[in-house]
Structure 1
Amino acid sequence: MNSIIATPTRAIVHRTYGSTHGPITRLMSPGDLGQLLKPFVFLDLFGFKPQGGQKGFGMHPHSGIATLTYMIEGGVEYEDTTGKTGVLPTEGVEWMRAGNGVWHDAKPVGDSSISGFQLWVALPASHENTPAESLYLAPSQIPQAGPARVLLGRYGAAQSAIAAPSDMNYLVVRLKDGERWRYTPPAGHNVAWLAVNAGRLAVGGPVNTGELAVFEESDQPIDFVAHGDTSFVLGSAVKHPHDLVMGRYSVHTSRAALAQGEAEIQRIGARLFHEGRLA
């Protein structure tokens, strides 16, 4: 008997297409599904073709979190207040551990369409007010095992170059039409979700393009069958044990930590304004 059929798998307990505002679809935020899926607290699926005068995302701050941006299509010029600048190409990754506070920006390269996912990860108390660090990875620097590219954590023999702040995996998976795949999460990864950006999956039930699905909290594997060539991101983790204390651009574990992070954001922002880098 096929083991995929014989072994119980996780059920989907929630699904959403999120809310769309212009070129951004917000699939998860700290005030809704982030409470269920922490340390994963925020997920945007963005996509647009630059028009005249469109300058990108604009310089903006974060603290208390790490952001991971994965480019599905197109490239962006990046800049951050750790001093790094460059171009992030198609299938490249930006990892920004904001910690105590950072500002960053991304602008489309040329007039080609861009699309991607941006994920926020809540940092543990030991990391949330540490100095900001950033890492930019070319596609060749992202390891792969089977159909999965490992953005965070480890899958099979593939381990991300990014030091995850807690026990978590974040994968980009591509399956061909009719292809089957089983994901067996590491021990303790009772949080699990996926979001599809192309194609359609059967995962106990259908999950369509643009949809995010949340799995029940358990230690069971997850089985996938692709209907059409399909691409999706998948996250699993040990649950973040802290409250989510939110600011406008920040998520911390306490009011005191949030106040410290916001003070640093204001300090950096004042410098950027003095330098003429903020409107």
Structure 2
Amino acid sequence: MSDSQPVPLRRVDRVHTKTVFGPDTQVDAKAVIIAPDNVGLTDPFLVLSEDWFSSAGFSWHPHRGVETVTLVLDGVLEHGDSLGNAGALEPGDVQWMTAGSGIIHRELAFRDEYAHTLQLWVNLPADRKLVATRYQDLRARAHAEYAGDGVSVAVVSGSSGGVTGPAANHWPILGLLLTLDPATEHLQLLPADHRAFCYVLDGRVTIAGRSVESGQIAWSDPVGEEENATALPLSTPEADERTRVMLFAGRPLNEPVVAGGPFVMNSKAQIQQAFADFHAGKFGDIPRRARLLTR
């Protein structure tokens, strides 16, 4: 696009407030930000949940057909999986796990103390549902970063502002963590064919003319079939605090979605096969390793 052609501005198509639930057998509290009840409006993103837990956390369980992206907001998250990975993630760290053909893992609060996390499920296309499993610890210090006037951007996945994040992807996903000072304006460039969401972690922001506050998510649907650049305008009011925004974007898959518990495939037959493979031990052995003592 030449300098004489302004970048088209995006709109916000809908804004939702997260639904907060009480405690259950796994967590002290849970909130659902993206519910899997209308994937046509969220594709390629399936679920976004927010969890506060000390014990029991999420003990050994399987996944197939998706990638899970977990951001630690506070506390320390202990994890382990059937690939032999084990460790602890701290605030700002991101865990990017490709379940692919099948993995078993657990997510616990380190020493049963406290963890506050966001977990996003990213769908995989049909021809990559059964890719080899892969695990990535993306430490906060390893995120690519750039800054503008009153804004700093941590790039977890994809490219923005001339830098590229550390995440390896099976489907191109832009993943950003933005911190905006009060009274700041920022134009975030996005491909026209991507669906984007902005989840406000702290503060308040106006996105394409819509006011969005902490605990709310704003969606911007694709505005074209090409990867031409578009811009999503963000601005913050005069305030005493900074605003933090989780912004993810990706091109919709436009494929059938069939879910069965922790498995997401394209047909009921594939879900049945996933359960059969798991019970046959094809996801590997359920690990029996002890809890972490140090980090």
TM-score above 0.5, yes or no: yes
Q: CA deviation at 1:265?
A: 2.6
Unaligned runs of 5+ in 1: none
Distance 1:158 1:255 in 2: 41
**TM-superposition CA deviations, 1:18-45 (whole Å, max 9, x none):** 322232111113322x321211111112
Aligned to 1:9: 9
Q: Is the 8 A contact 1:27 1:43 kept in 2?
A: yes
Aligned to 2:168: 163
Q: CA deviation at 1:270?
A: 9.1
Q: Is the 8 A contact 1:18 1:25 kept in 2?
A: yes
Distance 2:276 2:163 in 1: 39
Tell me the TM-score normalised to structure 2 length. Answer: 0.82
Aligned to 2:18: 18
Q: Is the 8 A contact 2:178 2:245 kept in 1?
A: yes
Q: Is the 8 A contact 1:76 1:108 kept in 2?
A: yes
Distance 2:222 2:257 in 1: 19
Unaligned runs of 5+ in 2: 23-28, 225-229, 291-295
Distance 1:185 1:105 in 2: 34
Distance 2:12 2:126 in 1: 30
Aligned to 1:200: 204
Matched, 1:180 2:188: no
Matches within 5 A, 1:117-128: 117-128=118-129
Q: Is the 8 A contact 2:36 2:47 kept in 1?
A: yes
Aligned to 1:151: 156
Distance 1:14 1:238 in 2: 18
What SS does the aligned partner of 1:130 have?
coil
Letter in 1 for 2:196: A
Q: Is the 8 A contact 2:82 2:286 kept in 1?
A: no
Matched, 1:222 2:232: yes
What SS does the aligned partner of 1:12 have?
coil
What SS does the aligned partner of 2:59 have?
coil
Query: Structure 1 vs Structure 2: percent identity of aligned residues?
Result: 24
Matches within 5 A, 1:1-279: 9-22=9-22, 23-32=29-38, 34-48=39-53, 50=54, 54-110=55-111, 113-146=114-147, 147-189=152-194, 191-203=195-207, 204-218=209-223, 220-227=230-237, 228-268=241-281, 271-272=285-286
Distance 1:276 1:116 in 2: 23
Q: CA deviation at 1:264?
A: 2.8
Letter in 2 for 1:272: I
What SS does the aligned partner of 1:11 have?
coil
Tell me the TM-score normalised to structure 1 length. Answer: 0.86
Calculate the aligned-residue CA RMSD, in Å. 2.4
Distance 2:197 2:122 in 1: 14
Distance 1:104 1:31 in 2: 25
Distance 2:206 2:289 in 1: 51
Distance 2:167 2:276 in 1: 27
Q: Is the 8 A contact 2:192 2:223 kept in 1?
A: no
**TM-superposition CA deviations, 1:90-130 (whole Å, max 9, x none):** 11111110011111112112465432211100001222112
Aligned to 2:227: none
Check 1:150–1:261 CA distance in 2 against 1; reply closer, same or farther (3 A cut).
Answer: farther
